[in-house]
Chain A
């Protein structure tokens, strides 16, 4: 051996994985910045723009108007009440499904999901057919109910937010530690005391989360309030009338920011709560066996039957109304409303299908890319991306939509050419629903053991090969589920796109609103039925594909 050792040859990395990781991260971050951060900043910016410089002028003007305080009270009251009702009703419904032996559980579960398959305002439509001036109760059963106004909005929002509350509460009630119940029984506690001290106590986080979710959905919803609200105005409808009616963008922006506060706050609280929820059940917990109890089952069965009755009556009355000549004067059967010879004909429906398909396809790519760069291709950008990716959940659809108008309508924006086109609507749908899509994908991705990545790396696989040969084949059922989620949301969301619609870019959910607004209630009903039909068809189709491929345990309805 030579006296002087030759310095060791350094085997340096080839360019490749790091470049790809960094490139993709920058791309994801850039898209989030342009299509999420910039619109939100645009709305904030506009709210401070008084026309004569920047300041709090708009806020002072808006808040000194007593009307705005009336709207704030209205919004809080109606959302608070409907959140309380939805959570209370959903709690016992979920209890019936998780903790008793009622029959036909899967059917019971499906029926209360129906509101998710149609634009929120189908609740208002159905309620008007049932309880409105020309509704069944007033016209044919001799009642004298005035549904327009506070109570109409409260009931419609209760129905609209019920499934969301039910999903959360059902998950909370699904897990239970039998040892607690056995302990309580051994100590001689009576059923009601057990319910109060054990069941309620162990689901309190779920209840709180459900309350905040229902509240924030109600306060940001605009479809129901505008259709059934009558003279009862809320913040969400006020933005609409300020922007669309009076073109006062700065006041719209101010109200948008005001609306942002409760929505963002409740999202933050929900996140806090859901972190606590996890530690409730440990690996030592014993699963609860439901004891037979006929009296209890009958009681809850009757309750569930009543709820199902309500949840079936709304869509059924809408279907029925879409099939009669002229509600309520000429109730003879006809298919004429499905000819869609008004307005743009069937174009909005086809537009919606196209938009929803594109949203599903590109939305899945966007959230998958975001999950990959935050979990697998880690770079210094991973932290900021994962923060931004979950942020859209705190922004109400209307606010983000208005932000898009303010950001992309401006000629100084190089992407101004997107304004008034379908691609911008698709982008809005993608980034409006980005947080949930990202969370579903990231959770699934985390469950794929990282040793698969390591095994692939050690065998010489590049990051991209690992992605396409290992990760994607394992993740595709989840991604298909996320695609369905995006599709569903793009079919039914109304408030997000209401400001982006032009005569050339009409979508179905907005058509329902415009038809209902014009008094063409039967055609509006037909449109709603079509939307619901398409969503259900898509769910069945994907469910079949998943079943045929043998993929189990993919949740499609969220």
Chain B
């Protein structure tokens, strides 16, 4: 069942954490709430969970209005950043907890809990207390605990940010494969764009309690609509432009060719990997004469910093694969890119 958030507003005193926010989470998908701290992503998750009450708006699961349903009766599974396993209970008892709350029989409870422990490959840790396990193990148990009562929705609140890099990478793919195996509708809050790009079916970028843009990871990367999204997801050159007399984009002393209308935009986005460098004109739709101001060697990649001769106050970052070219500081080059690489941003 789809989850619908409708016109939800949440205030803390004078601070508006969520402002008239509406959103649909498609059934069976993994949706990431992405944004900087303070953007309202955790608040939105907590409102959906029922741990916070919104002043206005509705939470609908399929046909059911859950706005007045207490969190304990929503049947949602939650995994917290801090694991929050009950420290006085063993791993197995932790996983059984939700089943006890639902009055499952002892035998069914145990079978289900063991099945869940198998799922996260921790059957051998069943008798251990949380303090005897590593952070990654604890978070796996927490996932098993959340899934055991067959929740209709799984909510993950920055589940990986307390873990070290290696464990985080492992758990990313593990969470994703479990989610796909069960086909469970899942929401994950994160501030890590790579995590969102790798795992999500749908990314919701939040800013100041409002939705900035919703889309599939590739969509958001290829077609960011705003400066904020373009800057937040991946690296990008933001070019300050103005409309010239002909209504075209004027970048310093040079005109740029774009696809589609400008619609009054003053910023164009250009991904660093979309630029190619050449000594001679290469017949590209856009070509800027530049001076190399800096280079950084990063193994398989090179980062080159350029100062366009026509707009010396706006530096361009270029990312090059391989070592076919090795520009040096002070070199005069042409930066070439097609019209469709220029993203018109609000």
- The residues of A with any CB-CB pair to B shorter than 8 Å are 6, 8-14, 17, 449, 451-452, 454-462, 465, 469-470, 473-474
* Residues of chain B lying within 8 A (CB to CB) of residue A12: 68-69
- Cα separation A457 to B65 with both chains bound (whole Å): 19
Contact among A6, A14, A459 for B101, CB-based, below 8 A:
A459
**Beta-carbon contact of A461 and B101 below 8 Å:** yes
Chain B residues lying within 8 Å of A452, measured Cβ to Cβ, are 84, 86
Nearest Cβ on chain B to A476's Cβ, whole angstroms? 10
Decide if B77 is an interface residue (CB 8 Å cutoff): yes
Contact B75 A460 (CB under 8 A): yes
Which of B56-64, B172-180, B233-241 forms part of the interface with chain A?
B56-64
CA distance A12 to B50 in the complex (A): 13
Query: B71: CB under 8 A from chain A?
Result: yes
Task: Verify if B281 is at the interface (C-beta below 8 Å from A).
Answer: no
> Considering the complex, which residues of chain B in the window 64-112 have a beta carbon less than 8 Å from any beta carbon of chain A?
64-78, 80, 82, 84-88, 97-98, 101-102
Please state if B87 and A474 are interface contacts (CB–CB under 8 Å): yes
CB distance from B5 to the nearest CB of A (A): 13
CB distance from A398 to the nearest CB of B (A): 43
Interchain CA distance A452-B88 in the complex, whole Å: 11
Query: Which of B66, B74, B82, B155 is in CB contact (< 8 Å) with A449?
Result: B82
Q: Whole-angstrom distance between the alpha carbons of A475 and B109 in the complex?
A: 27
A17 closest partner in B (C-beta): B70
> Is B205 part of the binding interface, using a Cβ–Cβ cutoff of 8 Å?
no
Q: Are A459 and B149 in contact (CB under 8 A)?
A: yes
- Chosen A-B contacts, 16 in total, with CB atoms closer than 8 Å, are A10-B68, A11-B68, A12-B69, A13-B68, A13-B70, A451-B82, A454-B80, A455-B84, A456-B86, A457-B51, A458-B49, A458-B74, A459-B72, A460-B98, A465-B101, A470-B88
B63 and A458 form a contact (CB under 8 A): no
Give the residue of B65, B67, B78, B88 whose beta carbon is less than 8 angstroms from that of A455. Answer: B78
Chain B residues near A17 (CB-CB < 8 A): 70, 72
CA distance A458 to B154 in the complex (A): 11
Which of A14, A451, A460, A473 is the one whose CB lies under 8 Å from B102? Answer: A460
The listed residue (B60, B65, B77, B82) touching A458 by CB distance below 8 A is B77
Q: What are the residues of chain A within 8 A of B80 when measuring CB–CB?
A: 451, 454-455
Least Cβ–Cβ distance between A257 and chain B, in angstroms = 40
Task: Decide if A13 touches B73 in the complex (CB within 8 Å).
Answer: yes
Report Cα–Cα, A452/B69, bound state, in Å.
Answer: 20
A470 to B101, CA, bound (A): 13
Point out the residues of chain B lying under 8 angstroms from A469, CB to CB.
86, 97
Q: Mark B198-234, 1 if CB is under 8 A from A, else 0.
A: 0000000000000000000000000000000000000
Do the beta carbons of B87 and A8 come within 8 Å of each other? no
CB distance from A7 to the nearest CB of B (A): 8
What residues on B are CB-neighbors of A461 within 8 Å? 72, 97-98, 101
With A17-B70, A455-B78, A457-B71 as given contacts, are A8 and B65 in contact (CB-CB < 8 Å)?
yes
Contact call B63/A8, Cβ cutoff below 8 A = yes
Q: Check B87–A454 contact: CB distance below 8 A.
A: no
* Chain A contacts for B307, CB-based, 8 A: none
Q: Which residues of B contact A462 (CB under 8 A)?
A: 72, 101
Chain A residues within an 8 Å CB radius of B73: 11, 13-14, 460
Q: How large is the interface on B (under 10, 10 to 19, 20 to 34, 35 or more residues)?
A: 35 or more
Residues of B within 8 A of A465 (CB): 101
Q: Does B140 contact A (CB under 8 A)?
A: no
Tell me, yes or no, whether B145 is within 8 Å of chain A by CB. Answer: yes
Q: How far is the CA of A172 from the CA of B71 in the complex (A)?
A: 43
Neighbouring B residues of A470 by C-beta, 8 Å: 86, 88
| Bound complex: CA A9 to CA B145 (Å) | 29
Question: What B residues does A457 contact at CB under 8 A?
Answer: 51, 70-72
A-B pairs with beta carbons under 8 A, tally: 91
B76 touches A458 (CB 8 A): yes
On chain A, the residues within 8 Å of B155 by CB distance are 458
Q: Which of B58, B68, B101, B102 has the most C-beta atoms of chain A within 10 angstroms of its own C-beta?
A: B101
Known: A8-B65, A457-B51, A460-B98. 9 other contacts (CB 8 A): A6-B63, A11-B64, A11-B66, A12-B68, A458-B71, A458-B76, A459-B146, A469-B97, A474-B88
- Given the known interface contacts A460-B98, A460-B149, the answer about A455 and B71 at a Cβ–Cβ threshold of 8 Å is no
A residues less than 8 Å from B97 (CB atoms): 456, 459, 461, 469
What 6 A-B pairs have minimum CB-CB distances, sorted nearest first? A459-B98, A460-B101, A8-B65, A473-B88, A451-B84, A458-B78
Query: A457 CA to B66 CA in the complex, in Å?
Result: 15
State the CA gap A457–B69 with chains docked (Å): 12
Minimum C-beta distance from A71 to chain B (A):
51
The chain A residue sitting closest to B60, CB to CB, is A8
Closest chain A residue to B81, Cβ basis = A451
Interface core residue of A11, A13, A449, A462 (most chain B CB under 10 Å): A11
| A9-B87 contact in complex given A459-B98, A460-B72, A465-B101, C-beta closer than 8 Å | no
Closest to A13 in B: B70
A13 to B70, CA, bound (A): 6
Chain B residue at smallest Cβ distance from A476: B88
CB of B188, distance to nearest CB on chain A (Å): 15
Which residues of B lie under 8 Å from residue A449 when comparing CB positions? Answer: 82, 84
How far is it, in angstroms, between the C-alpha of A458 and the C-alpha of B87 when the chains are bound?
17
User: Which chain B positions have C-beta within 8 A of A473?
Assistant: 88
Q: Which residue of B lies closest to A7 (CB)?
A: B65
Residues of chain A within 8 A of B49, CB atoms compared: 458
Query: Does A9 contact B64, Cβ atoms closer than 8 Å?
Result: yes
A454 to B45 Cα, complex, angstroms: 13
Bound complex: CA A261 to CA B260 (Å): 81
* B65→A11 contact, CB < 8 A: yes
Closest to A451 in B: B84
Tell me the complex Cα distance, A457–B78, Å.
Answer: 10
Contacts of B60 in A (CB 8 A): 8
Contacts of B87 in A (CB 8 A): 474
Smallest CB–CB gap between B150 and chain A, Å? 11
Is the pair A13, B69 in contact by a Cβ cutoff of 8 Å?
yes
CA distance A11 to B69 in the complex (A): 6
Residues of chain B within 8 A (CB-CB) of A460 are: 72-73, 75, 98, 101-102, 149
Q: How many Å lie between the Cα of A474 and that of B130 in the bound state?
A: 14
A10 to B73, CA, bound (A): 13
Instruction: Give Cα distance in the complex from A455 to B78, angstroms.
Output: 7
A533 to B244, CA, bound (A): 96
A13 and B58 CA atoms in complex are apart in Å by 15
Q: How many whole Å from A55's CB to the nearest CB in chain B?
A: 46
A454 in contact with B72 given A9-B63, A459-B98, A460-B98 (CB within 8 Å): no
Min C-beta distance of B126 to chain A, whole Å? 18
Tell me, in angstroms, the Cα distance from A461 to B70 when the chains sit together: 11
Residue of A with least CB distance to B93: A469
Q: Provide the bound-state CA to CA distance between A14 and B155, in Å.
A: 23
Using CB atoms, name the residue of chain A closest to B75: A460
Contacts of A10 in B (CB 8 A): 64-65, 67-68
How far apart are the CA atoms of A465 and B100 in the complex, in Å? 10
**A459 to B150 CA separation, bound complex (whole angstroms):** 10
| Most chain A CB atoms below 10 A, which of B70, B78, B149 | B70
Question: Is there an interface contact between B86 and A455, defined as CB atoms closer than 8 Å?
Answer: yes
Complex Cα–Cα for A10 and B64 (A): 6
Q: Which residue of B lies closest to A458 (CB)?
A: B78
